[in-house]
Chain A
Amino acid sequence: MDQTFTGSSHYVASDELMGAVNIAVTLQKPLLIKGEPGTGKTMLAQAVADALGKKLIIWNVKSTTKAQDGLYVYDVVQRLYDSQFGTHGVDDIARYIKLGKLGEAFQSDEQVVLLIDEIDKADLEFPNDLLWELDQMEFYIPETQETVRARQRPIVIITSNAEKELPDAFLRRCVFHYIEFPEQAQMEQILRVHFGQLEEHLVQQALAAFYWVRQLRDIEKKPSTSELVDWLRALVAGGIDPDRIVSEIPFSGVLLKKDKDLHTLRRNLR
Chain B
Amino acid sequence: MFAAFFYLLRQRGLHVSLNEWLTLLEGMEKGLHHSSLTGFYHLCRAILVRNETEYDRFDQVFLEFFRDVPYQGELPEELLDWLDHPSEDLHRTIEELRSRGFPDETLEDLLKLLEERLKEQTSEHNGGSYWVGTQGRSPFGNSGWHPNGIRVGGRSQHRTAMMVAGERKYRDFRKDNTLDTRQFQMAFRLLRQLSAQADSAERVLDVDGTVRDTCDNAGTLKIRYQHPRKNTVKVLLLMDSGGSMDYYSGLCSMLFQAATKSNHFKELHTYYFHNCIFGELYTHPGLRGDSTISTDWVLKNYDSSYKVIIVGDAAMSPYELREHRYNWSQGTYGPSGLEWLARFRAQYPYLIWLNPEPMPTREDYWSQTHLQLGHLFHMYDLSAEGLEAGMKRLMVRK
Contact = CB atoms under 8 A, between A and B. Distances in A.
A174 B50 contact: yes
Contact of A178 (B55, B186, B214): B55
Contacts of A20: 42, 46
Contacts, number: 72
Interface of A: 1, 16, 19-20, 22-24, 26-27, 29, 32, 34, 76-77, 79-80, 83-84, 124, 164-165, 168, 171-172, 174-178, 180, 212, 215
A36 B49 CA distance: 18
A178 B53 CA distance: 10
Contacts of B15: 168
B373 interface: no
A80 to B, nearest CB: 5
Contacts of A212: 99
Nearest to A215: B99
7 contacts: A26-B27, A26-B30, A80-B219, A171-B50, A175-B46, A176-B50, A180-B169
Given A26-B30, A83-B219, A212-B99, A19 B23 contact: no
A20 B212 CA distance: 44
Give the contact-size bracket for chain B: 20 to 34
Contacts of B51: 171, 176
B20 interface: yes
Contacts of B27: 23, 26-27
B358 to A, nearest CB: 23
Chain B interface secondary structure, helix, strand, loop or mixed?
helix
B26 interface: yes
B46 A177 contact: yes
B100 interface: yes
B185 to A, nearest CB: 11
Interface of B: 15, 17, 19-20, 23, 26-27, 30-32, 39, 42-43, 46-47, 49-52, 55, 96, 99-100, 169, 186, 189, 211-212, 214-215, 218-219
A20 B52 CA distance: 14
Given A20-B42, A26-B30, A172 B50 contact: yes
A176 B43 contact: no
Nearest to B192: A124
Contact of A23 (B43, B211, B218, B219): B43
Given A29-B23, A180-B169, 14 more contacts: A16-B42, A20-B46, A23-B43, A23-B46, A24-B46, A26-B32, A27-B32, A79-B215, A80-B214, A124-B189, A168-B50, A176-B46, A176-B47, A178-B52
A151 B30 CA distance: 23
A212 B100 CA distance: 9
B99 A175 contact: no
Nearest to A178: B52
Contacts of A77: 211
Nearest to B15: A168
A80 B216 CA distance: 10
Nearest to B19: A172
A73 to B, nearest CB: 12
A84 B219 contact: yes
A172 B17 contact: yes
Contacts of B186: 164-165
Contacts of A22: 32
B49 A176 contact: yes
A175 B100 CA distance: 36
Contacts of B96: 215
A14 to B, nearest CB: 11
A16 B43 CA distance: 9
A19 B41 CA distance: 11
Nearest to A84: B219
A76 B46 contact: no
Given A16-B42, A19-B39, A76-B212, A172 B52 contact: no
B298 to A, nearest CB: 32
B315 to A, nearest CB: 31
B32 A23 contact: yes
Contacts of B52: 34, 178
Contacts of B43: 19, 23
A26 B31 CA distance: 10
Contacts of B42: 16, 19-20, 23
Contacts of B212: 76
Contacts of B39: 19
B36 to A, nearest CB: 11
Contacts of A27: 23, 26-27, 30, 32, 47
Contact of B30 (A1, A175, A180): A1
A76 to B, nearest CB: 5
Contacts of B46: 19-20, 23-24, 175-177
B47 A23 contact: yes
A257 to B, nearest CB: 17
